[in-house]
């Protein structure tokens, strides 16, 4: 093989043919040669590039990692601290910027990238402009107003989920739903959430869910990503499908820092799919705590009712009098009070027990049934004791009434006459002393049955034997 004398050994081309006896180069050696070539090219040591930010990450508030792209290509970039602290704006995906720096090779990955030394804001990127235009349009139509936001159901029977069946976000949602509220049925509508087909797929999935799902609330979303991967949720057809849902809808697109058109139109926005599942369901533990609190309130209320009833019964006992009419009125009033207490206790107990039974049936073995049974048994015992106390009180008053009636009958004049006594009357007045009579006085004698007019033959204070 002949080599031209124009070149010495130090200036041979990089890819000059080698003899069979030479050993092959390692990947590191080849990469180092490529890096040396790029680093030695003065045209690549001070370049300015305009493009749209994508996949932007500010790692721990220090170094910035992102891609610059246009419609035909993209390049990875790194902007080290403290140089990146000199910029006067906050970079974000979709923003159009001008970056100045040098091109080099990152040997560990074999990638070429732009090491940015300075960066200025050029304006909004294409996708960012589309986002802002659609956002303004929907705001003008009122689709993002708070007045349209609907409250989420407290106890949903069926929960619709519009997401990709292969996404990690879906698994997060299902895990939280099964843990927090296993009684709900989950209806899944699997859709594409990335790529050109994602927008029509998401819109169609929402429409099918609205038509056939028979759900109480809907979660739509996916995990985080770049503005491009989330773009299906920034389209007008998806926004209008969300606004047309007949039930409340929760948007769970990306991470907390990601905001999409879907988030703005939905009734609630969740920072993550996990938070969306938590917003859509109550917690079984919270229900248990509420039931425990309700049982304590029931016991406290029942105790107050019983104490009040005893106090009113005691007051009635103090105000009762001996005449028949008053006693009958008090007895009737006592009966009405007893019936009112029975109805109030029964109504409250039945109402609370009905609510408890409904909740207990839904949370099955998760609910504290033994506590509710214990409180219900205690309430029934108090009810029996109250009825027994009222019955004893009524019997005592009835017995007292009988005794008073007997005493009243004992002092009745007619009863005295019935026993053989008579009444002697002179001039219409009862004679109480024999000294009041004189011989030949005319007197009127009244017997139990009949009377007699008599003449006094003899009178005096002492009876002759």
Question: Average pLDDT for residues 111-129, to the nearest whole number?
Answer: 81
| Maximal C-alpha separation, the chain | 192
Q: What is the pLDDT of residues 321-380, one digit of tens each?
A: 556 667 777 788 888 888 888 788 888 888 877 887 778 777 765 656 667 777 888 888
Contact 40, 103 (CB under 8 A): no
Q: What confidence category does residue 176 fall into, taking pLDDT thresholds of 50, 70 and 90?
A: very high
Residue 428, C-beta contacts closer than 8 angstroms, at least 6 positions apart: none
Contact 281, 181 (CB under 8 A): yes
CATH of domain 284-410: 1.10.132
Phi, psi angles (nearest 5°) of residue 186: -100, 125
Distance CA 327, CA 319 (A): 10
CATH of domain 148-280: 3.40.50.2300
63 DSSP assignment: -
Question: Average pLDDT for residues 287-313, to the nearest whole number?
Answer: 83
Of 98-107, 132-141, 177-186, 225-234, which range is least confident?
A: 225-234
What tokens does 109 get? 């990955």
412 DSSP assignment: -
The pLDDT assigned to 13 comes to 42
Q: What is the pLDDT of residues 210-223, one digit of tens each?
A: 998 899 999 998 88
The pLDDT assigned to 323 comes to 67
The pLDDT assigned to 266 comes to 94
**C-alpha distance from residue 268 to each of 6, 181, 226, 232 (Å):** 75, 19, 22, 19
Distance CA 306, CA 383 (A): 8
Distance CA 320, CA 378 (A): 32
Distance CA 313, CA 385 (A): 14
Residue whose token pair is 């011989």: 439
Distance CA 115, CA 39 (A): 12
Closest among 210, 224, 231 to 252, alpha carbons compared: 224
Q: Where are the domains of the chain?
A: 25-124, 148-280, 284-410, 417-455
82 cis-preceded (ω within 30 degrees of 0): yes
Higher pLDDT, 463 or 237: 237
Q: What is the pLDDT of residues 414-449, one digit of tens each?
A: 777 777 888 888 888 888 887 788 888 888 888 878
**C-alpha distance from residue 46 to each of 77, 81, 102, 140, 266 (Å):** 14, 19, 5, 45, 47
The answer to whether the predicted template modeling score (pTM) of the entire model surpasses 0.85 is no
**C-alpha distance from residue 278 to each of 56, 155, 173, 231, 268 (Å):** 29, 12, 8, 25, 12
Q: What is the pLDDT of residues 244-266, one digit of tens each?
A: 999 999 998 866 556 789 999 99
CATH of domain 25-124: 2.40.50.140
CA atoms within 13 A on the CB side of 445: 11
The pLDDT assigned to 366 comes to 60
Distance CA 210, CA 136 (A): 26
**Beta-bridge partner residues of 75:** 68
Of 144-153, 186-195, 295-304, which range is least confident?
A: 295-304
SS3 label, residue 208 = helix
What tokens does 366 get? 């998760």
Of 135-139, 357-361, 395-399, 441-445, which range is least confident?
A: 357-361
């Amino acid at each position: 093989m002949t080599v031209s004398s124009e070149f010495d050994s130090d200036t041979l081309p990089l890819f000059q043919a080698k003899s069979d006896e030479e050993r092959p180069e390692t990947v590191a050696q080849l990469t180092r040669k490529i890096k040396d070539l790029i680093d030695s090219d003065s045209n690549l040591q001070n370049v300015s590039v305009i493009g749209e930010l994508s996949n932007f990450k500010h790692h721990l508030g220090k170094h910035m990692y992102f891609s610059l792209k246009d419609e035909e290509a993209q390049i990875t970039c790194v902007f080290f601290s403290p140089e990146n602290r000199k910029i006067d704006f906050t970079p974000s995906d979709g923003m159009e910027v001008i970056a100045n720096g040098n091109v080099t090779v990152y040997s560990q990955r074999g990638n070429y990238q732009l090491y940015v030394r300075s960066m200025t804001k050029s304006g909004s990127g294409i996708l960012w402009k589309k986002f802002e235009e659609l956002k303004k349009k929907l705001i003008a139509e009122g689709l993002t107003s708070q007045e349209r936001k609907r409250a989420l159901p407290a106890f949903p029977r069926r929960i619709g989920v519009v997401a990709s069946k292969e996404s990690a976000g879906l698994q997060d949602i299902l895990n939280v739903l099964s843990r927090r509220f296993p009684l709900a049925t989950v209806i899944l509508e699997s859709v594409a959430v990335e790529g050109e087909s994602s927008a029509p797929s998401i819109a169609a999935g929402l429409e099918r869910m609205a038509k056939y799902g028979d759900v109480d609330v809907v979660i739509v979303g996916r995990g985080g990503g770049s503005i491009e991967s989330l773009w299906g949720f920034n389209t007008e057809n998806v926004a209008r499908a969300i606004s047309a849902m007949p039930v409340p809808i929760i948007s769970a697109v990306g991470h907390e820092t990601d905001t999409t058109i879907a988030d703005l139109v939905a009734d609630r926005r969740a920072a993550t799919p996990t938070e969306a599942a938590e917003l859509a369901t109550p917690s079984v533990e919270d229900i248990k705590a509420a039931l425990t609190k309700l049982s304590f309130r029931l016991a406290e209320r029942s105790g107050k009712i019983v104490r009040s009833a005893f106090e009113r019964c005691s007051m009635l006992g103090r105000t009762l009098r001996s005449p028949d009419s008053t006693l009958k009125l008090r007895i009737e009033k006592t009966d009405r009070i007893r019936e009112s207490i029975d109805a109030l206790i029964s109504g409250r107990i039945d109402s609370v027990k009905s609510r408890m039974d409904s909740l207990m049936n839904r949370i099955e073995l998760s609910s504290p049934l033994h506590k509710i049974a214990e409180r219900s048994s205690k309430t029934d015992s108090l009810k029996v004791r109250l009825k027994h106390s009222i019955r004893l009180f009524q019997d005592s008053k009835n017995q007292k009434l009988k005794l008073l009636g007997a005493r009243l009958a004992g002092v009745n004049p007619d009863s005295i006459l019935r026993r053989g006594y008579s009444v002697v009357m002179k001039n219409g007045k009862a004679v109480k002393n024999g000294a009041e009579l004189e011989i030949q006085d005319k007197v009127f004698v009244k017997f139990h049955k009949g009377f007699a007019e008599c003449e006094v033959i003899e009178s005096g204070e002492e009876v002759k034997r």
